[in-house]
Amino acid sequence: MSAAATGRDGAAATRRDWVVHPARAPLAGTLAVPGDKSVSHRALMLAALAEGTSTLEGFLEGEDTCATARILQQLGVRVETPEPGMRVVYGAGLHGLRASAAPLDCGNAGTGMRLLAGLLSGQRFDSVLTGDDSLSRRPMGRVIEPLAAMGARIDSRQGLPPLFIHGDQSLRGTRLRTAVASAQVKSAILLAGLYAEGETEVTEPQPTRDYTERMLEAFGWPVRYGPGWAKLDGGHALRARTVRVPADFSSAAFFIVAASLVPGSELRLRGVGLNPRRTGLLEVLRAMGADIRLHSRREEGGEPVADLRVRHAPLHGIEVPLRHVPDMIDEFPVLFVAAALATGRTVVRGAAELRVKESDRIAVMARALAELGVPIEETAEGAVIEGGGELRGGCVDSRGDHRCAMSLAVAALRAAQPVRVSDCANVATSFPGFETQARAAGMVVETAA
């Protein structure tokens, strides 16, 4: 995909603003948020490498995941879309991918690029991974270095995309300790490990999401793992299967916080993925006083799932426990909003990873909330937020970051006047149809060019 984002109607757009009005009534209703982006990426990749035909249900129709699907098609994998939210993938087998004459465009998908770097390191052919302007500024050295320790050859622009991946390398199983707590880095290593001779073992400074480990297990590859470590041997095969992708907790998070903040609200969210390495925000919001109940616990696609009922409750500030930080790294922008409207002080530490996401999320959220009148002190690895005051209306800039845009839309619900959130087109990368869902819950969201 090019640097231009795609609007809700599918037309190319370089910019899209929202005007979000303060809530005049409680939020209410039952929502089904889109499928989990991380699970969708991984299910596509493993289905492409599997033997046989896999069906993916609940697949996220976002720009990031669709970019990964297009790349796999460039590599010779047949991927069909019988209906929205479904993919049928005709697996090529572990060694059945074919070289692409053109670069492989990841668009804005950091997950896609990092995981594909590991997968493509084990192929017999050369590959080039590119991305849009935002992705081209995101660090890839954290993936390149451990893969190089396994024998991969990847050239880059001083650790930034594009990535030039040399094929026909002999990968070797290695014991690696990652420098950062990143499920994407761990996953890239494990995907390369499928092609390595011997055992690949990864340990992390802090436990991260185990989506790849669970998905490998579901596709029949022997893998051993626990909090903060995983290991596997090369030389096995993946077997096709049907995967039901759970609803994305990160997408649900915006409505969890919105219902918590607007008096009288009650929202139900169906089939939300509750991977224990993903739900740090749930624990933190409960510690702040949120009223969140889980119903109909079950398992789908190897992932724990439940229906959520969220009711408004007064929140109070806390010091966010460091143990929860890796498990909520994508949810910090909306946590900043919850903190801004909670009573008292909230302190966030240990979240430096936020500075190398689609934007510098600490800086973007600190600047935007300050524009709305929130006393917030930006720190190197987080922020100190003095909550409880009234938010004013005005204009804030999401800097093209989908999670910041949706978080600021939630903040507008408790503002004194409407809030214009600029540069929202990239919301389609992770949550196509956010505006429709928001309106169904009772939010007043207008679009503006």
Q: What type of residue is 242?
A: T
Task: Mark 285-311 as b/e (b = at least 16 C-beta within 10 Å).
Answer: beebebebeeeeeeebbbbbbbbbbbe
Cis peptide before 22 (omega within 30 of 0): no
Largest CA distance in the chain: 62
Taking each helix axis from N to C end, the angle separating 37-49 and 63-74, rounded to the nearest 10 degrees, works out to 10
- Distance CA(135)–CA(218), nearest Å, equals 30
- Distance CA(383)–CA(373), nearest Å, equals 15
Residue 77 sits at φ, ψ, to 5 deg, of -90, 130
- Nearest CA to 39 out of 273, 267, 225, 286 is that of 273
User: Can you list the pairs that 261-264 forms with residues at least 24 positions away whose Cβ atoms lie under 8 Å?
Assistant: 261/312, 261/315, 261/337, 261/338, 261/341, 261/410, 261/413, 261/414, 262/23, 262/26, 262/27, 262/312, 262/413, 262/414, 263/26, 263/312, 264/25, 264/26, 264/312
Clarify whether 330 is annotated catalytic: yes
Question: Which among 17, 105, 248, 330 is annotated as catalytic?
Answer: 330
Which one-letter DSSP state was computed for residue 426? Answer: G
Q: Are 413 and 20 in contact (CB under 8 A)?
A: yes
Helix (H) or strand (E) holding 47: helix 37-49
The residues with which 308 forms a beta bridge, in sequence order, are 269, 294
What residues contact residue 319 under an 8 Å CB cut-off, 6+ apart?
A: 346, 347, 349
Enumerate the active-site residues: 330
